[in-house]
Amino acid sequence: MTVLYQFNRIWRVIWTDGRELPKDPEPRWFGYSVGKWVDDYTLVVETVGTDERTWIDRAGRPHSADLRVEERFHRLDHDRLELTVTIDDPKMYTKPWVALDKFVLELQPSSFDVREMICSPSEYEEYNKLIGSTASDKESH
What ranges make up the beta strands (E) of 19-126? 32-39, 42-48, 68-77, 80-88, 97-104
Question: First CA to last CA across the chain, in angstroms?
Answer: 41
pTM of the model: 0.78
Q: What pLDDT is stored for residue 141 in this prediction? A: 47
* Closest C-alpha to 76, from 103, 99, 100: 103
Q: Judge whether residue 50 has pLDDT over 80.
A: yes
> Does residue 134 carry a pLDDT above 60?
no
Phi, psi of 126 (to 5 degrees): -65, -40
Split at pLDDT 50, 70, 90, the class of 99 is very high
Greatest CA separation for the chain: 51
Q: What is the mean pLDDT of residues 16-39?
A: 96
Q: Model confidence over 55-92: pLDDT tens digits?
A: 988 889 999 999 999 999 999 999 999 999 999 999 99
